[in-house]
Amino acid sequence: MTRAAASLLSPAGALARSSRPVRVMIVDDSITARTVLSRIVEGEDDMIVAATANSAEQALGVLGGEQVDVILLDLEMPGIGGLAALPKILEVARGAQILVISSLTLDGAEPTVAALSQGAADTLPKPAVGQFTVPYRQNMIAKIRALGRSEPAAARPPRARARRMAREQAAIIAIGASTGGIHAMSQLFSTLPRGLRVPFLVTQHLPASFMPVFARQLEGFSGYPTSIARDRAVLRPGHILVAPGDGHLVAERKGETLIARISRTPAPSGFMPSVDPMFHSLGEVAGGQALGVMLSGMGRDGCEGAAHLVEQGGTIFAQDQESAAVWGMPRGVAEAGIAAAVLPPQEIALRIAASTGASQCK
């Protein structure tokens, strides 16, 4: 019996989802890259290379008959290429998550952020041959494992704390996200109506060099003016401020005015920027008028800040497990019992609109 077949069987002979290996597909036009990546994956007891392809066109054909959990996708290939084919790959991949591994991520953020906004869950730069270091391999394996191991569904829906927003309309919106969050954010903002007269704060785990591109793309699919937050910038209704890659975005009150502050105090989660300080500050400055949203992401960043925001009378919405690439950050909020609703991004957008007094979404 092969290693893959043996690991699929429980002692009782039944298929055990929790113990079955993560099935990985590698899509890269370089045979050397496919070989190196295959060796890294096959070196793990809980992973197998289920398929390989040397082009996006070939990958689409293979995916028609092969079920995989994670696709390692190069963006720059002959033919239609990985970036152009990404939406179609997601369509036929039946729930598989895409980890982009491409040298294009070293050359600029444009293709990387474009891939993330189209539905890729995460990215890694593809190093030159001979430079797949031990830390790089460990990081890659950790990402594959997180994307390929779906969180088991709770026996019962997470309990939701009674909403307090019914008493006060939301006056400021904060959105936190990590792995898979850019795609979720595009879904949310594409559904949200234009012209809401509230400030938006966004904390997305991304390197600092990616933030200008992310801000431009966010402005494109949201329809709201978007910029990277500067210290002491005034929070303006109908504008989105994005946390810089090297600091936490928090809100502070100066009389009747809310301003942005950039904090570099280490956060408990270890992330920079972190969602926790943003949510915590909103609870302090806006209380019952604060609304936080937790989208797809790995780990538990934002859970402590969300709890404080709710203690101050604010409301938290969390992305649901079915729509999230990684149900880590929203799961922490949902299972803590502090989410007023656990929904897909498009439905969260409808709740945001209602909370701010808007009656229709378009």
Q: Just list the catalytic residues.
A: 178, 205, 301
Instruction: Burial-class residue 109 by CB neighbours within 10 Å (0-12, 13-18, 19+).
Output: buried
Dihedral over Cα of 303, 307, 312, 318: its sign: positive
Nearest Cα neighbor of 242 from 196, 280, 211 is 211
Measured at the alpha carbon of residue 280, what is the angle toward residues 184 and 266, in degrees to the nearest 5? Answer: 90
Q: What Cα–Cα distance (Å) separates residue 97 from each residue in 6, 8, 157, 339?
A: 24, 20, 24, 26
Q: What is the DSSP letter of 289?
A: G
Contact 288, 167 (CB under 8 A): yes
* 3-state class (DSSP) for residue 260: strand
- Packing angle of the helix pair 81-92, 109-118 (nearest 10 deg): 10
Sheet holding 97-102, edge to edge: 47-53, 22-27, 70-73, 97-102, 122-125
Instruction: Output the six-digit token pair for 274.
Output: 């972190």
Instruction: Output the six-digit token pair for 83.
Output: 């970036």
